[in-house]
Amino acid sequence: MTIFEAILLTIVTASTPLLLAALGELVVERAGVLNLGVEGMMVMGAACGFAGAVTFDSTLAGILCGILAGMVLALVFAIAVLGLAVNQVAAGLALTILGLGLSGLIGQPFVGAQREVIAHLSLPVLSDLPVVGRLVFGEDAFVYISLAATATVAWFLARSRAGLTLRAVGENHGSAHALGLPVLKTRLLAILFGGAMAGLAGVYLSLVYTRFWSPGMTAGRGWIAVALVVFAGWRPGVLLIGAYLFGAATVLQLHAQAAGFGLPSQALAALPYLATIVALVLLSLGRKGASVAPGSLGQPFAPDR
């Protein structure tokens, strides 16, 4: 394997958890709900996913545990913002704090444990092709799931009846309710989907990306996922590009540190975040406002009784 090929493979690995979490947040925000608890859901998915995989000695069990953990936190968030109509920003921040603390408690017995490498796709001849072989035909299942999820979300929002209903709810929940659309049910399902995707992203971090558990291992990826949704203009295709830009910046700063560039390691570690924000802002400016935030984003909804 050449160094160039190894870098490309590492970029894909670094980008996948971010793409999974951001896709879930995009659907939630399209429904008109601002969820700032993605970081907490991700870290809970990482802790519960790793704990489940080690306890049951099964990767599948770990994946299910991680997804369930993300959905449970999402349900708590939904009860607060939909059932009690509390402030969405405050509820999301509280959820992140809860997730970070609770994940540390759950993951404490598993510190130091490791899991085996998850099998990658291997196709005769195709996987042996230079560069594209391992990159296209030799990834793990999570990578293909993230790409399929991107296409599915794009189709769902643009072509399906349920997707159009979700967008209508996000644009103007009052008008949607007047037309008889199920605003609360739509938002509940969107929030649960976002929690499941954030939990799956956390599972990828602990079972594939690092293959061990460490407190706070999400390292701000949940916040970057929220930012990517905004700067991508709530478009799945641009979101995919943004996630891979961030992954590339993350990997390249590690290589820059290894090469001994004359910059403090802290400055190099901050470069991926700065580069991603700058790149996505430029993409957003290039569209000249072609896509704006959903009209009811962040606004609580209480149906007339």
> How far is it, in rounded angstroms, from Cα 93 to Cα 81?
12
CATH code of 148's domain: 1.10.3470
Radius of gyration over alpha carbons of the chain, in Å?
19
Q: pLDDT tens digits, residue range 55-105?
A: 999 999 999 999 999 999 999 999 999 999 999 999 999 999 999 999 999
Residue 112's alpha-carbon distances to 196, 204, 216, 226, in angstroms, are 26, 18, 15, 30
> How far is it, in rounded angstroms, from Cα 174 to Cα 21?
28
Whether residue 270 lies inside any domain: the answer is yes
* Residue 41: domain span: 3-286
Rounded mean pLDDT, 190-205: 97
Whether 263 shows a pLDDT value over 80: the answer reads: no
pLDDT band at 286 (very low <50, low <70, confident <90, very high): low
Whether residue 141 lies inside any domain: the answer is yes
Task: Report the b/e string of 256-271 with b at 16+ CB within 10 A.
Answer: eeeeeeeeeeeebeee
Whether residue 295 lies inside any domain: the answer is no
> How far is it, in rounded angstroms, from Cα 63 to Cα 189?
20
The answer to whether the beta carbons of residues 35 and 92 sit under 8 Å apart is yes
> How far is it, in rounded angstroms, from Cα 248 to Cα 50?
26
- Classified as helix, coil or strand, 120 is strand
The larger pLDDT score, comparing residue 32 to residue 129, is at 32
Q: For position 290, what pLDDT does the model report? A: 47
CB-based burial of residue 180 (10 Å sphere; 0-12 exposed, 13-18 middle, 19+ buried)? exposed
Give the other-Cβ count within 10 Å of 292's Cβ. Answer: 9
Whether residue 305 lies inside any domain: the answer is no
- Classified as helix, coil or strand, 140 is strand
Q: For position 135, what pLDDT does the model report? A: 80
Task: Report the b/e string of 205-221 with b at 16+ CB within 10 A.
Answer: bbbbbebbbbbebbeeb
pLDDT band at 162 (very low <50, low <70, confident <90, very high): very high
- Classified as helix, coil or strand, 288 is coil
Q: pLDDT tens digits, residue range 34-62?
A: 999 999 999 999 999 999 999 999 999 99
The larger pLDDT score, comparing residue 73 to residue 279, is at 73
Tell me the two tokens of residue 295: 């009209």
Report the amino acid identity of residue 160: S
The answer to whether the beta carbons of residues 32 and 296 sit under 8 Å apart is yes
On whether the pTM is more than 0.85, the answer is yes
Whether residue 303 lies inside any domain: the answer is no
Our separate counts of H helices and E strands in the chain read 12, 0
Q: For position 289, what pLDDT does the model report? A: 47
The answer to whether the beta carbons of residues 47 and 99 sit under 8 Å apart is no
The answer to whether the beta carbons of residues 146 and 16 sit under 8 Å apart is yes
Number of structural domains the chain divides into: 1
Whether residue 296 lies inside any domain: the answer is no
Identify the residue whose tokens are 């909804």.
Answer: 301
Whether residue 304 lies inside any domain: the answer is no
Whether residue 299 lies inside any domain: the answer is no
pLDDT band at 281 (very low <50, low <70, confident <90, very high): low
